[in-house]
Structure 1
């Protein structure tokens, strides 16, 4: 199928054309039928009056042959039911035609009745000088003795019928024309409406993985397309941020992995080059330390990757007091106020607290305190040390990956810069937050699980 016929413009235009044609056609048919119905109702009422007048004459004993003298300005036919349905009187005199129908339309042609016959003289005025077909609406009635069937006809209003015919002709050609016009208007309107979408599509098609700083044009209409453009720009901003963060993360990870690998390789090269001058045991211990550091770093990277792509699994109710007692026993003081319970991953919550405690112990002078409490529907886990604390300017970025403050870098037992990033990601995966308060107080807030 050609591309044009699969376009939204074409489909909307065709739908508008078909829908408007059906709707307008239904209205047009209803209007014409109503107009014709009114014409026939008017003719039927008058024909009923004529039939009733003839029936009354027959009921009073008048003979059918006398009706031409007694009834004026009427078109009728009387049939004798006792005479095998023979027509015994008619006005005008019919030639091979008949009015014997029940509440229906009959068309009399000029050659089907005799205007010259004296019995046709008193018929309806519309028969005089008529040269065209005569459209009648015929009704029937029965005489009181049920011997005669009377059929009376009245001509449909010629002017009204002409008006109905004119309306029918206009609607027959006008409805498709109007429907086509509506389809064209719909096509033009959709084309104009989709012009910003085409601009958005063209811009997105040109944006590559290394050009995520570009943005799609946003129309000022404030409609759905404007909101689509805003959503696309938000998505591009998130992609740009994610790609930038991933690139920075990859660069930092490469740097962090390069250092222990280089140290390990250097030690092994020196050991192989001078096997008699070095202490093999001491060299292997140093190499094992580098391997352990690499193993811990890779494990942290794997965990961060899992947290980036999935939420916590195997969720279960976890009492934070039990987590605090299990992790901080012998390493920090524990203060429990209340018994908050959260829904989460126990091992990852333990990892969160362990990272906080390890970070506090690296910077503490003599004391580390773990506090567990419940505040306003949140389970609060706080770790405080008596160290120098985090400068206010660094309290937000300290949770970024591979961020280590200068004093931490100077310590021999400094971490890789992933511990607090893991804390923030685990808290976020559990629907919570992590932040630094008052310098050396790290606070994690998690939604509290209400237990009945």
Structure 2
């Protein structure tokens, strides 16, 4: 493709020009043909009248030779059934009017002006110094003895007007089409100006500059919606990159602590093997390894939830999941038997994390309740602990967040349990929230029986 056609505005302009040439050209040709057809129809009607008059004279007994005296101001020719010319007006030399419903051109040198029979013919033949075009029709006499051909000149003024229109359209159609192409080029260039601004802005946005946004024109059209969509996409990318960066930093920090502790214990044990209790040191090292294993498992699960495609889900009775996980660890209250479409193993992980968190903070009692409310399966986990401050009820579901950092570390918490709860609930089309006191509520869409 030529370089000048690679831009959208050039392609649109060329397309508009070509379409205009075709459309305007077709309309112009149709208009000229219709005008010429009307001129020929008018000439044909008048020629039919002249032919009918000659046929009537022949049918009443007139001879073809008598027509030079009986018929005036007409152009005609009469032949016998063999095609031999019997009389014509004007007298022709090297030309003939023997045709049917067509145009015949008579040139000045083909008309014998010296013959007396040419004198009384149509007035347009007098002083003729250029070719004359007539429309000829064909008729038969009553006994089919003679063929009568009558011709009438096409309206010269009308033909001149049609010729003028044809000339104007021949040059005007390309000019108008070119003007339309230029207007289309300018219009598209103006319309795409915001797109160029968006492109330039996006080209300057780097991985560490996702806070920038493309300009949004206030036109409310497709380009404005495109800009809005791109800004929404940039906001999501910015959030995802920020979250990923924070997650990587936090994960590195969380992994560094047990690794540093494990290394320190091993180095001290190797440096002073006779001064330390090997069994106690190995138990401490095993505790750090277990903590590392749990943390890596949580990170792997979060990674799967972040990039999970559509899972093969199945109907799961939420009350059965709660009974399997929480029985013996909490008081279970079941009101109804809601069924959800989900991943059973991950739903068990959700319940387990909530119960683990409640046990970690409860004074003496944990209650797990399951109910069905307005098409939603509702899971509630409550403990009698100190509760969550209102300002932290949303933040508590962020990754690596510990409201009581020291105690969480001692108890082996990684700060990922509630984040996993929120992601699993979200993956199942539900939500997780913290309410007043030590109360966590998970809502999942209930599976209606088919």
Identify the TM-score tier after normalising by the shorter chain: over 0.9
Correspondence list, 1:43-442, <5 A: 43-81=43-81, 84-406=82-404, 409=407, 412-442=410-440
Q: CA deviation at 1:397?
A: 0.6
Residue 11 of structure 1 corresponds to which residue in structure 2? 11
Q: CA deviation at 1:140?
A: 0.7
Q: CA deviation at 1:4?
A: 2.9
Is this contact kept in 2: 1:325–1:334, CA < 8 A? yes
Q: Which moved more, 1:250-259 or 1:360-369?
A: 360-369
Q: Hey, what's the Cα distance between the residues in 1 that align with 2:108 and 2:279?
A: 132
Q: What's the CA shift string for 1:299-339, capped at 9, x where partnerless?
A: 11111111111245121111111111111111112111112
Is this contact kept in 2: 1:396–1:435, CA < 8 A? yes
CA 306–244 in structure 1, closer or farther in 2 if over 3 Å, else same: same
CA 326–249 in structure 1, closer or farther in 2 if over 3 Å, else same: same
Q: Hey, what's the Cα distance between the residues in 2 that align with 1:234 and 1:425?
A: 21
Q: After the TM superposition, which parts of structure 1 deviate over 4 Å for at least 4 consecutive aligned residues? A: none
Q: Hey, what's the Cα distance between the residues in 1 that align with 2:248 and 2:388?
A: 26
Residue 40 of structure 1 corresponds to which residue in structure 2? 40
Q: CA deviation at 1:407?
A: 6.5
TM-score, scaled to structure 1: 0.97
Helix, strand or coil for the counterpart of 2:49? helix
CA 295–398 in structure 1, closer or farther in 2 if over 3 Å, else same: same
Aligned residue pairs total 450
Q: Hey, what's the Cα distance between the residues in 2 that align with 1:375 and 1:40?
A: 86
Q: CA deviation at 1:220?
A: 2.2
Is this contact kept in 2: 1:99–1:138, CA < 8 A? yes
CA 406–3 in structure 1, closer or farther in 2 if over 3 Å, else same: farther
Q: CA deviation at 1:191?
A: 1.2
Q: Hey, what's the Cα distance between the residues in 2 that align with 1:405 and 1:315?
A: 34
Helix, strand or coil for the counterpart of 2:197? helix
Q: What's the CA shift string for 1:363-397, capped at 9, x where partnerless?
A: 11121111111111111111111112111110011
Q: Which moved more, 1:1-10 or 1:353-362?
A: 1-10
TM-score, scaled to structure 2: 0.98
The two structures, once aligned, show a CA RMSD in angstroms of 1.3
Is this contact kept in 2: 1:99–1:106, CA < 8 A? yes
Q: Hey, what's the Cα distance between the residues in 2 that align with 1:392 and 1:354?
A: 24
Q: CA deviation at 1:125?
A: 1.1
Q: Hey, what's the Cα distance between the residues in 1 that align with 2:368 and 2:79?
A: 115
Is this contact kept in 1: 2:408–2:414, CA < 8 A? no
Is this contact kept in 2: 1:336–1:373, CA < 8 A? yes
Gaps of 5+ in 1: none
CA 305–122 in structure 1, closer or farther in 2 if over 3 Å, else same: same
Q: CA deviation at 1:438?
A: 2.3
Helix, strand or coil for the counterpart of 2:334? strand
Q: Hey, what's the Cα distance between the residues in 2 that align with 1:4 and 1:404?
A: 61
Q: Which moved more, 1:204-213 or 1:222-231?
A: 222-231
Q: Which moved more, 1:55-64 or 1:220-229?
A: 220-229
Q: CA deviation at 1:222?
A: 2.2
Helix, strand or coil for the counterpart of 2:138? strand
Q: Hey, what's the Cα distance between the residues in 1 that align with 2:197 and 2:405?
A: 52
Gaps of 5+ in 2: none
Q: Hey, what's the Cα distance between the residues in 1 that align with 2:261 and 2:74?
A: 125
